[in-house]
Structure formats: C-alpha cells, structure tokens
Structure 1
Amino acid sequence: MPEGHTLHRLAAEHRRVFGGRPVAAESPQGRFAAGAAEIDGRVLSAAEAYGKHLLLEFGDDRVLHVHLGIYGTWRFGGVPAPEPRGAVRLRLSGAGGHADLRGPNACELLEPGGVKVLLDRLGPDPLRADADPGRAWARISRSRTSVAALLMDQSVVAGPGNIYRAEVLFRQGIDPMLPGRALSEGQWSAVWADLVVLMAEGVRSGRIDTVRAEHMPGAMGRPPRVDDHGGEVYVYRRAGLPCLVCGSAVASAELAGRNLFWCPGCQPSAG
C-alpha cells in the first residue's frame, strides 16, 4: 500500500495537471459512472492529501475521496488520451493531460460534512503544516499497545506505513515492542521530527531513503540496494542481513498481519 508521501505527490500532480481548470470525468469501467457524471465539466478547485487519503475538490460541496488501498494506482498521461485499457474506474481529462485510476479501495463523492467525518478518524499527518503531534502523543502515552503497532494505526498517525514505521524506530533506537505508555515524550518528539524530515524527502524524491550519509553505499563501499520501493533503508526487508550500523542480524516478525523489521543490537528490548 502506498505510504503518505505518495499521496502528497499525487495531490501535487493533480494540482499541476488539472488545477483551476474544467475537468472531464468518465468511468470507462462503469463502477463510478454516477459519480463521474456529477463532477464532469467542473473545475478542480483543490487537491489535498491527508495521510493515505486523496481529496479532490470540485466546488459546490463535491469532494472526490480516493483511497488506493493495496492495488490502486493513478497513471498520468498527455493529450489526446488513448482509448482506456483495462478496468479504469475513473478517467480525468483536461487541457494539461489525463489521469486514469485503477483498482482503488475507495472512490466516492463525499456528502457535505463527509470530509470532516473522514478526517476525524485520522491522526495527524507529518506532511501537513496543520498537524498537531500532541494529538498522537495523547493516544500513545496512554496505550499498552506496542509503539510499532501504534505507528501503523492511521487513527494515531496518518501517513506512515510499514517502511517508515520500521525505519524511524531503527533510527531512534527504539524497541518496536515497547508499549506506547513506556515511550518518553522526548522519544515521541524525536520520532515525529524524524518522520517529518524523512517523509518530506520522500515527497521530493519519490522514493523512500532513510539511510544517513555515512551509511550510504558509496560511503560504505557496498552495492546499492535493489528493491521495488527504490530506496536505501536500514532494516526494512533486510531480515537476516547484517545491520549497517552494528553488524547484528536484522530480525523480523509478524505483527498485526504485517512484517516488522528491527535490529536487536541497535534497538535492544526494553523488557
């Protein structure tokens, strides 16, 4: 599932291609035909991301909500747009290009007030200037749940996924199994600040890089990492390999249905 930086990049791309101009909308697949008809010909007035949710505003309280889920994708192209291929849930077209949405978990027009209902379910987003990390701390500091699970709970922090979760805990030397209420406020402040920096870099570069300069391939004389997420990482998907910092074997375990990665040497158990 795409992490939050990807949705912020998508919001920016929608603003670039369609912002402030009329947009044609259709549902070649047919599953969003009624919704597409409601926004067809309207001006895209705003495009924003909140965590892993994309909100496209078309005025008159028409807000398109898209959550990509595991399989959803947006594909942008030029004009004229070719004939749709495959199961295209929604095609947006304008003078600046077109965009095809396939396989989303959610593609819906929200009723008035629906945006607030959605946002009320989400924690603060490290990529938004209006985010309040104190809201997340209020939840974390009272919870018996592990900090690793809390960082994947979008109602606690909106945006980070499995990669940022594993990497920020490694960078801060925090045992992923530590209960939230055992985390210090100073540790939480450091985790939040690191997420802000790392995820903003992900928006800029389009990939997830979490490795500090002294541990990059050139500095260590090691080959670059090859992975479909396209970045240099410390522990994510490196189970059994030596830690880039201490040499310990990277550990992995399943937590809440997802694979968790950490270094027992750099993130010693607090239990």
Structure 2
Amino acid sequence: MPEGHTLHRLAADLAGTYAGRQVRSSSPQGRFEAAAARLDRRVLEGAEAYGKHLFVSFEGTEEQVHVHLGLYGTFLISPGVGRPVVGQVRWRLEAQDTADLRGPNACELLTPPAVEQILGRLGPDPLRADADPDLAWHRIHRSDTPIAALLMDQKVLAGVGNVYRAEVLFRQRVAPMTAGRRIPRVRWDAMWADFVALMQVGVERGRIDTVRPEHEPQAMGRDPRADDHGGEVYVYRRDGQPCLVCGTPVRRRDVAGRNLFWCPSCQQRR
C-alpha cells in the first residue's frame, strides 16, 4: 500500500497540473459517473493529502472527492487529452493533461461533515505542518501494545506504513515488540523527527531512502539495493541478509498483519 509520502507527492502533482483550471471530469468505468458529472467543467481548486487519504476540491461546491488508493490503486498523470481509456478507469480528469484513477479502495464525493469524520479518525501526519506529535504520544505512552503495531495504526500516526515503520525503529534502535508505554518521551521525539525528515525525502525523490551517508553503497563498497520497491534501506525486505551496521542477519516476523523486519542485535530490548 502506498505510504503517506506517495499521497503528498500525488497531491502536489495534481495541484500543480490542474489547480485554477477548468477540468473535464468523467468516469469511464461508470462507478463514479454521477459524481464525476457534477464536477465536470468546474475549476479544480486544489488537492491535499492527510495520511494515506487524498482530497480534491472544486470551485462552486463544498464537497470534495476523497480517494484512498488501497493496495492496488494508481492515479497517473499523462500528457495530452483524448487519450484512449486503458483498463478500469474509475475517475478521469482532463485539462491539457490526463489523470486516470484506477483500482482505488475509495473514490467518493463527500460533504464537509463526512470529510471531518474521516480526518477525526486519523492520528497526526508527519508531512503536514499542522501535525501535533503530542496526539500520537498520548496514545503511545498509555498503551501496552508493541510499538511496531502502534506505528501501523492510522489512528495513532497517519501516513506511516510498513517501510517507514521498520526503518525508523531500526534507526532509533528500538526493539519492535517494546510496549508503547515503555518508549521514553525523548525517544518518541527522535522517532517523530525521523519520520518527518525521511518522509519529506520520500516526497522529493518519489522513493523511500533511509540509510545514512556512511551506509550508502558507494561509502560501503557494496552493490545498490536491487528491489522493485526501490530506495536504500536498512532492514525492510532484507531478512536473512547482514545488517549494514553490525552484520547480524536481519529477521522477519508478522506484526499487525504485515511483515516486520528488524536487526536483533542493533534493536535489543532495553
């Protein structure tokens, strides 16, 4: 599932391409047809992300389109208009360029109260200037749930997914099964700062890179990571391979329904 940096990058791309322009709105697949027709030929005001959710607004209506890509959704912008429809396009925007949404978990036109209901269920998003890390901390330091599970809970922290979870826990030397209430405040502050910095890099580069300069391929004399996910990481999808810091084989286990990767030496429970 795309993590928060992907949605923020997508929001910026949509706003940069369409904001202030009158757009054609349609639903070639038909599942969003009525709502798409209501938005047709309106001026797109903007797009913003909150966690893994995207919201697109238009002039002349308080309703917004809410998109959640889920595991298989894509929202791709291609040059030109009048392009042939390929695959099941749930929603198409056209204005000099064409944006096609395919396979999302959600694509719906929502009233302001419905939007607020979604936002009210989410924890702070490290990529938003209005984020309050104290909201996440209050939930974490009262919980007996392992920190690895808490970080995947979008009610605790919005936008963080499997990769950022594993990588920040490694970078901060936190044992993944440590109960939330045993995480010191100073450690949480460092984790939050790491999420903010790493996810901002993800927005800029369009991929997740988490290794420090001294552990990059050139510095270590190793081959770049070969993975369809892309990016240089410490533990994610590196189970059985030597830790880049201590050489101990990276381990994998299921936590909160997803594969967690960690180094048992660098991340010993304190």
Superposition TM-score, scaled by structure 1 size: 0.98
CA distance in structure 1 between the aligned counterparts of 2:3 and 2:228, rounded to whole angstroms: 13
**Residue aligning to 2:240:** 240
**Residue aligning to 2:126:** 126
Q: Counterparts of 1:25-174 in structure 2 under 5 Å?
A: 25-59=25-59, 60-95=61-96, 97-174=97-174
Could you tell me whether the CA contact under 8 Å between 1:39 and 1:62 is conserved in 2? no
Aligned-residue sequence identity (percent) comes to 62
**Residue aligning to 1:205:** 205
Could you tell me whether the CA contact under 8 Å between 2:46 and 2:56 is conserved in 1? yes
Unaligned runs of 5+ in 2: none
Question: For each residue in 1:43-96, what CA deviation from the matched residue of structure 2 results, as whole angstroms up to 9, or x when unmatched?
Answer: 11121000000000113112000000000001111113311111000100013x
Q: 2:26 is matched by which residue type in structure 1? A: E
CA distance in structure 1 between the aligned counterparts of 2:81 and 2:29, rounded to whole angstroms: 19
Structure 1: which 4+ aligned runs deviate by more than 6 Å?
Answer: none
Q: Per-residue deviation at 1:112?
A: 2.8
**Residue aligning to 1:261:** 261
CA distance in structure 1 between the aligned counterparts of 2:24 and 2:63, rounded to whole angstroms: 14
Q: 1:140 is matched by which residue type in structure 2? A: I
**Residue aligning to 1:231:** 231
Could you tell me whether the CA contact under 8 Å between 1:61 and 1:111 is conserved in 2? yes
Question: For each residue in 1:89-134, what CA deviation from the matched residue of structure 2 results, as whole angstroms up to 9, or x when unmatched?
Answer: 0100013x11000000000001231111111000000000000000
Question: What is the SS of the residue equivalent to 1:115?
Answer: helix
Question: For each residue in 1:228-269, what CA deviation from the matched residue of structure 2 results, as whole angstroms up to 9, or x when unmatched?
Answer: 221000000000110000011101101121000000010003
**Residue aligning to 2:2:** 2
Could you tell me whether the CA contact under 8 Å between 1:88 and 1:102 is conserved in 2? yes
Question: What is the SS of the residue equivalent to 1:230?
Answer: coil
CA distance in structure 2 between the aligned counterparts of 1:73 and 1:116, rounded to whole angstroms: 24
CA distance in structure 1 between the aligned counterparts of 2:112 and 2:159, rounded to whole angstroms: 24
Q: CA RMSD in A?
A: 0.8
Q: 1:10 is matched by which residue type in structure 2? A: L
Superposition TM-score, scaled by structure 2 size: 0.98
Q: Per-residue deviation at 1:31?
A: 0.6
Could you tell me whether the CA contact under 8 Å between 1:166 and 1:236 is conserved in 2? yes
Unaligned runs of 5+ in 1: none
CA distance in structure 2 between the aligned counterparts of 1:8 and 1:81, rounded to whole angstroms: 27
CA distance in structure 1 between the aligned counterparts of 2:19 and 2:266, rounded to whole angstroms: 46
Could you tell me whether the CA contact under 8 Å between 2:81 and 2:95 is conserved in 1? no
CA distance in structure 2 between the aligned counterparts of 1:64 and 1:138, rounded to whole angstroms: 31
Question: What is the SS of the residue equivalent to 1:55?
Answer: strand
**Residue aligning to 2:22:** 22
Could you tell me whether the CA contact under 8 Å between 1:249 and 1:263 is conserved in 2? yes
